[in-house]
Amino acid sequence: MERLVEVSEQEVRMDFMLNSKRRANVHLRSLCHTAPIAFKVQTSSPHKFLVNPPSGLVPPSSSTTIQIILKPQNQLPPTFPRSPSDRFLIRTALLAIDTADSTHPDLFNLWNSTSSTQDVKLKVVFVGPFLLHHAVSRGDIVSVRSIIRKQKSVLAELSPGEAESLLRVATELVNSEDMVNLLLEAGLRIETSTAGFYHVDSRWVLKGWSELHVAVAFDRTEEVVRLVNVMGCEPLDWRGRTPLHLAASKGFIRCAKVLVESGADKDAKSTDGRTALHRAAANGDRSMVEMLLGMGADPTILDHRGRSALDLARYKVHEEVVEILEQGDGVLMAARCGHLQHLDLLLQKGASLNYCDQYGLTALHAASIKSKKDVVSMLIEFGVDLECQDNEGHTPLHMAVEGCSIETVEVLVNNGANVNAKSKGGVTPLFMAKAMGYNDISQFLINRGASSSPTSSSSISSM
């Protein structure tokens, strides 16, 4: 028997959105030139779908439109785009001429006739920008590819703002390059003037992202090295994140180290108040945390919710990172108290030499001001930075002078401490020694090359 009808699509494509009634049309065309075609629509999911009209007649060689209505859904489809549990069956039957002329044709007999009926089966697929965005956000590249294949216009129909949001989400994935390439190759297009994108080396770069951000996002260390020499390390994206934030978030330790060694601000805050160390601690990235601490990142900085990197590590139950950050506190305490054995144990276990408190004071500062000469010597043996500065720019030598310990001063100077180091207020160790009346320290510093030239008038207030 020849076909009675032709449908526009073999699938019901439903542009899904949570808590919203959605509609799709199915066009039914009669292939019979002599008699009407009766139809009846059935669904496997009557609790989800309405059909308008559920039944009717199609005149000879004519068409009709059936509207499929999805009731508001408060949950995502269990699977998409294909929905194996949702199907439609369009039953069709050829009406005899005398039946067609009747006001009430006997349709019951039609559906039970094996000689004059045909069934058309339709599958359901859920598509649309909402599900596409969801699939991109969870890194489900298979579903993204399927949605685009089922609804080829989905990318072209996105507004500039929607396209920007979609690409932004894709670039923040851990393995972002494959997803970004899929979207761009499938036709995602961003207008530079409206969406803030620009094109560099055949790549689209998200609004606010520099070339350096992109190189870091794809862990291209050699490109990072080249770019920092051209543009520096501190471009910000739309969230106030530097490339170092991005490297720390993604765990790209080689890129992060290159940035820090090239002068990136280790303690730069993004708009949420977090530093690179916050992000590494929140991710439980032990290697990144150790690297950042070793390069002098400040673990006492608080984000906009008043949380330190240690707070985030505790909240996320990243025990190894918690231990590392707590060791930093232990190093400071041991240095202040002169507990050599405990300090040695912590340092042998890999605790950071450069951990500092909220005032920027390191273990070497603490030992120097407390006149712990033996602790100072141990820290120097472990390779501590003699010129580290606190928040006011004071070096450990400034602290040793303030602690009135000529022996500690001698240890620092004999190991290469700069006798002419200046604080942010221009204060030198010699100026401090003279101001405090420490004549023996003053004379030692002069003998070792300290300059006695006058300093700024504001220096005393900065001591």
User: pLDDT tens, 202-247?
Assistant: 344 444 577 788 888 878 899 899 888 877 777 887 788 899 999 9
pLDDT of res. 80 = 94
**Best CA proximity match to 133, nearest among 145, 125, 142, 144:** 144
pLDDT of res. 195 = 37
* Final residue in a domain of this structure, among 127, 147, 182: 127
pLDDT of res. 282 = 94
**Whole-number Cα distances in Å, 281 to 189, 225, 249, 304:** 36, 25, 9, 16
Residues 40 and 65 in one domain: yes
- Sequence-ordered list of residues with C-beta below 8 angstroms from that of 365, at least 6 positions apart, any chain: 356, 388, 390, 394, 396, 399
Residue 230 lies in a domain: no
Residues 43 and 140 in one domain: no
Residues 156 and 96 in one domain: no
pLDDT of res. 233 = 79
Residues 37 and 93 in one domain: yes
**Whole-number Cα distances in Å, 340 to 243, 325, 356, 377, 385:** 39, 20, 18, 10, 19
Residue 271 lies in a domain: no
For residue 235, cis peptide bond before it (omega within 30 degrees of 0): no
Residues 71 and 113 in one domain: yes
pLDDT of res. 356 = 78
Residues 122 and 137 in one domain: no
Residue 111 lies in a domain: yes
Residues 121 and 67 in one domain: yes
| Identity of residue 325 | L
> What is this structure's pTM?
0.45
Residue 72 belongs to domain with CATH number: 2.60.40.10
DSSP string over 173-186: STTHHHHHHHHHHT
Neighbours of 402 (CB within 10 A): 18
pLDDT of res. 461 = 44
Residues 45 and 143 in one domain: no
Range of the domain at 155: 132-205
Residue 416 lies in a domain: no
Residue 102 lies in a domain: yes
* Final residue in a domain of this structure, among 109, 127, 145: 127
Strand partners, 25: 67
Residues 37 and 84 in one domain: yes
How many domains are there within the chain? 2
pLDDT of res. 200 = 42
pLDDT of res. 101 = 46
Strand partners, 292: none
Residue 322 lies in a domain: no
**Best CA proximity match to 310, nearest among 347, 357, 272:** 357
Residue 242 lies in a domain: no
**Best CA proximity match to 281, nearest among 303, 258, 304:** 303
pLDDT of res. 42 = 95
* Final residue in a domain of this structure, among 182, 205, 228: 205
Residue 9 lies in a domain: yes
Residues 99 and 64 in one domain: yes
In tens digits, the chain (463 residues) has pLDDT values of 678 999 988 899 999 999 999 999 999 999 999 899 999 999 999 999 999 999 999 999 999 999 999 999 999 999 999 999 999 999 999 887 555 444 445 554 555 554 567 899 999 999 999 999 999 999 999 999 999 999 989 998 888 878 878 887 887 787 777 888 788 778 887 654 333 343 443 344 444 577 788 888 878 899 899 888 877 777 887 788 899 999 999 899 999 999 999 989 999 999 999 999 999 999 999 999 988 887 778 787 889 999 989 899 999 999 989 888 877 778 888 898 888 988 888 888 777 777 777 788 889 999 999 999 999 999 999 888 899 999 899 999 999 999 999 999 999 999 999 999 999 999 999 999 999 999 999 999 999 999 876 554 444 444 5
Provide the 8-state DSSP code for 75. S
Residues 49 and 13 in one domain: yes
**Whole-number Cα distances in Å, 191 to 57, 97, 239, 388, 416:** 48, 59, 21, 48, 57
Residues 12 and 115 in one domain: yes
**Best CA proximity match to 93, nearest among 83, 75, 107:** 107
